Amino acid sequence: MTNNFSLFRVSKPGERAFSNLIILIPTLVVFLFFVIPVISVLRYANIGTIRNFLTDSYYLSVIRFTFLQAVVSTFVSLILGFPGAWIMSHLEFKGKNFINSLTTVPFVLPSILVVIGFVLCFGNNGVINKVLMLITGAETPPLKILYSFKAIILAHAFYNFPISLRFISSSWKNIGANRIEAAESLGAGKTKIFFSVILPALLPSIIAAASLIFIYCFMSFAVVLILGGGPACSTIEVEIYRFARINLNLEAAASLAIIGACLTIVFTFIYIKLQKLATNSNNDERKLTPIKLKSLHPGAKIIMILYIFIIILLIAGPIIAVCVRSFQSRAGWSGNVVFSLKQYKSLLDSVSLLSSIKNSILYALGTILIAIPSSIIAGYFLAKKRLAFPESFETFLMLPMGVSSIVIGLGYYGILSYLPPNFDKRGLLIIFSHSVIALPFTVKTITTGIRQLPDNISEASLSLGAGVFATFLKVELPLLKGSVVSAAAFAFCISAGEINSSLILSDGSSSTIPIMIYRLISSYNFFGACAMGTILIVICGTAFYLIDKYGGDELF
C-alpha cells in the first residue's frame, strides 16, 4: 500500500488511480444489486414479528426441520460421495474422464429439473416402481417415497454428492506418497494409516464440502416446495415464499427472511474459511501412483463397478426420464402412453411458452454481461494480491452465496413500488438478481484461472516496460479464454435454471422456463413440463459441455 488513501498495492500513481476507479465496478454490482435489495427487506421486518417466529411452536419446528433436513442431506451426500472420491483419486480405468464429466451435471442442472426427474424415476408410476412391480409381481408400487422427508433427502443427495466427491478426491490425490510410505515403514497397517494419516489430511476438504452442501440444502426451495408434500416438511425458504406471494404478507416474509439470512451468512463465512484451508493443504510433490482397475481383487472390482453404475444411473436416470417423457402423451383421458410430438407442437403454438424461452435466454445473456466483466476485474485483484484487504473483499463478493435467492427476490419485490409504473422493470430486476446469484461462482472460476497463469509470461511483459494493466489486457487476458468461457457458461446456466428469485419477481410478461415448468407441474401437465424441461436440459447441456471442456476440478 503506497499511501494512506489507496486500497491497492500498485507502484505507479496512474495505475493506482485507475485501480481505485475500476474496482468500483464489482463493488457497485454487489452493493447495488445485492446489498440494497437485502437491506430493503429490513423496512418490512418487525422486531415483534421476529420474536413471535422465535417463540411460536410451528415456526420453531420449521426452523428445526430446516436444520434437520440440511444435516441429514449433508451426511448422505458425504457418504455417497466418499467412495467416488477414492475411485477418482486412486483408480485408472476406461471412461474415467466420462465419469468425471458426468459428476459436473448436477452443478448445472436446475433444481426444478431434479424435481421432475425424481417424480418420473421414483414416483408411484415411475420407472423404478414399474421395474420392481414387474420383478416382484406386486400390484401396488413397493417404493413410496415422494412427497416426504425421504424424497427431499434423496433429491438433495443427488444434487450435492458431486461436491463431496470433487472436494475430497482433489485433496486425496494430493496426499504425498511419502506420508504413506513413512507410515508403512513404521509398521502401520492400512486401517491405522487411514485414520492417522489420510483422514486428518482429508478433514479440511471433508468439512469444507460439508459446509457448502449444508448451505445449499439449508437454502433449498424448489425441491422442498414440490417434493416435501406439505407443512410437515416445510422449511424457512418455503414459508418465506408463501408469506410473500400467497398470503401477500411482506412483514412476515421479511421477518422470517432476516432469521434465515442471519443463519446462512454465518454458515457461508465458515465455509469460506474452511475452503481456503482445504485449498492450501496437501501440497506434497510426489503423488500417489494410480491403481489399474483390472488389478483389483475380483470382489473389490465388482464393488467399484457397481458403485460407478449406481452413480451413472443416479445422475443420468432422471435426465433421460425427462427427455423420454417429453416425447410421449396419453391417448385419451385415461389411455395408454404413446410416442408423440404433441407437447412440442403445443409449445410452438403457445405464445406464453415461447416467451418464457426467450426471456430465459435474454436474462441469461444479461447475467453474463454483468457478472463476467465484474468477475474478471475482481478476479484480477484477488489473484494478483493487489488489494490491501483481499480477504474482506472476497468475503464481500461471496455474500450473495450466503443469502437465499428467495430473500434477494423479496428485496427486489419491495423495490418495485419505488420504480416508475411505466418502466418495464421486472425483467431487468430478474437480470440484476441473477447476476449477483451467479457472481460468487464466476469470481471463483476466473480467480482460479488467473492464479494458474505462468508467472514468467507476466514477468517478461513487465520487464519490457508494460504496466500491470497493459500486461493483463494484452498478455494474460487472452490466456484466460478457457476460464472466462467456463465462467460465462456457469452464469448462463445458473440464470437459465434459477427459479427462487424469479418466482418472487415474475409476472405474466417476465416468466421463465423454470417458472413455466413449475406451473405445468402444478396443473399436473407432466408431459408439457418435461418438454420444457428438455429444452432447459439442452441449454444447460451446452453450458455443461463448455464447463467440462474448459473448467477444472476447482468449481467452487
- Work out whether the CA dihedral 166, 170, 173, 176 comes out positive or negative: negative
209 in any annotated domain:
yes
276: burial class by Cβ within 10 Å (0-12, 13-18, 19+)?
Answer: middle
90 in any annotated domain:
yes
171 shares its domain with 99 = yes
> Which pLDDT score is estimated for 465?
63
Q: What are phi and psi of 8, to 5 degrees?
A: -125, 150
Judged against a pLDDT cut of 90, whether residue 433 lies above it is answered with yes
How far, in Å, CA of 551 to CA of 535, rounded?
A: 23
Q: Please give the residue range of the domain that contains residue 532.
A: 9-42+341-556
DSSP secondary structure letters along 212-229: HHHHHHHT--HHHHHHS-
83 shares its domain with 30 = no
- What pLDDT digit, counting tens, does each position of 341-400 carry? 888 888 888 888 889 999 999 999 999 999 999 999 998 888 877 777 777 888 888 888
155 shares its domain with 275 = yes
Which range is most confident: 411-420, 432-441, 542-551?
432-441
Domain boundary residue, one of 272, 298, 326: 326
478 in any annotated domain:
yes
1 in any annotated domain:
no
> Which pLDDT score is estimated for 60?
92
13 shares its domain with 69 = no
139 shares its domain with 280 = yes
Domain boundary residue, one of 300, 326, 352: 326
pTM more than 0.85: no
556: how many CB neighbours lie within 10 A of its CB? 20
**CA 432 from chain center: how many Å?**
18
25 shares its domain with 55 = no
How far, in Å, CA of 132 to CA of 483, rounded?
A: 45
Task: Tell me what percent of the residues of the chain surpass a pLDDT of 90.
Answer: 17
467 shares its domain with 318 = no
How far, in Å, CA of 467 to CA of 473, rounded?
A: 10
**CA 462 from chain center: how many Å?**
38
Cell (9 digits) for 210 = 460439508
367 shares its domain with 510 = yes
335 in any annotated domain:
no
CATH number of the CATH domain containing 317:
1.10.3720.10
> Which pLDDT score is estimated for 109?
73
Domain boundary residue, one of 275, 301, 326: 326
Q: What's the mean per-residue pLDDT of the chain?
A: 81
2 in any annotated domain:
no
257 shares its domain with 370 = no
137 shares its domain with 208 = yes
> Which pLDDT score is estimated for 287?
60
* Residue labelled with grid coordinates 408411484: 124
- What pLDDT digit, counting tens, does each position of 151-167 carry? 899 889 888 888 888 88
Cβ contacts of 132 within 8 Å, gap of 6 or more? 138, 141, 142, 143
Domain count, the chain: 2
Residue 17's pLDDT band, with cuts at 50, 70 and 90, is low
3 in any annotated domain:
no
Determine the angle formed by the axes of helices 111-122 and 481-497, rounding to 10 degrees.
60
Q: Is 92 helix (H, G, I), strand (E, B) or coil?
A: strand
276 shares its domain with 358 = no
Cell (9 digits) for 209 = 464440502
- Work out whether the CA dihedral 30, 34, 39, 40 comes out positive or negative: positive
Residue 3's pLDDT band, with cuts at 50, 70 and 90, is very low
Cell (9 digits) for 197 = 494419516
331 in any annotated domain:
no
413 shares its domain with 304 = no
Q: What are phi and psi of 394, to 5 degrees?
A: -65, -40
Residue 464's pLDDT band, with cuts at 50, 70 and 90, is low
CB crowding 380-403: b at 16 or more within 10 Å, else e:
bbbbbebbeeeeebbbbbbbbbbb
242 to 304, 328, 509: CA distances (angstroms): 44, 33, 22
Cell (9 digits) for 490 = 456457469
CB crowding 483-511: b at 16 or more within 10 Å, else e:
bbbbbbbbbbbbbbbbbbbbbbbbeeebb
More confident of the two residues 287 and 312: 312
331: how many CB neighbours lie within 10 A of its CB? 11
